[in-house]
Amino acid sequence: MHFISTRAHAELKRAILVFLFAAASTSTLLADQWALLVEPSFMDHKMRRPIEGSQRTVLAIARVVDGEIQPLTREEKKSVHMTYPMIQEQALQTASEVFKRMKPTFVRDKNQVIQYAAIESEDPLTASCVLAPEFAAAFEETLGPDLLVAMPTRNQVLVFSKQDNAHLRLAEKIINSYLTSNYPVSREIFTLESGNLRSLGILE
């Protein structure tokens, strides 16, 4: 019969506890993340941040818990000991994770020139992927360094070159997507400036 010494037993117990703690921490990280939702201003989100130049679209602060989006309430905010920059930093990491899962489709004209990129997904955070710090760089080779983005619905993003007016040619499509969606976001066109959204106006 083999016996384990008291010291070896203590070390084994300590190793198991460290492993369980690490596993629990990882589980919590994956299950509870911060997110910034690009949302229409008519939604009654209590904790929101403005988007420069926009009166119809906001960034709503939310948690993603076990895959479920839970907008932050004022009551919940009282128990969250984090500043907005701290929440934003984690939310941008969430946006990056979402963007990595996206597969943009490039739409070309009859001469095979890229007109715009379309991102569509069932992920409810699809529109928020534009906040990923690496978003603009991912399209620089195809659409140039200056981008325009439209997010007519929670599940759709259209990316254009700022040097073209392709977004105007698609205005009717963008508006129709917004009006017919169960989860509309915005009928505005935005620029991405240093990772921040700025509204250029509403498509008519």
Q: pLDDT tens digits, residue range 73-122?
A: 999 988 898 999 999 999 999 999 999 999 999 999 999 999 999 999 99
Domain boundary among 15, 50, 82: 82
| Residue 73 shares a structural domain with residue 108 | no
- Give one word for 50, left, alpha or beta, with left for phi > 0 and alpha for psi -120 to 50: beta
Give the whole-angstrom CA distance, residue 125 versus residue 59.
12
129-169 pLDDT, tens digit per residue, is 999 999 999 999 999 999 999 999 999 999 999 999 999 99
- Number of domains, the chain: 2
The confidence score (pLDDT) of residue 23 equals: 38
Compute the distance between CA of residue 130 and CA of residue 13 in angstroms, rounded to an integer: 46
User: Is 115 in the same domain as 182?
Assistant: yes
Does 113 share its domain with 148?
yes
Q: Give the span between the Cα atoms of 81 and 87, in whole angstroms.
A: 10
For residue 195, the tally of other CB atoms under 10 A from its CB is 14
> Please, which residues bridge with residue 47 across strands?
none
Residue 38 is part of which domain span?
A: 31-82
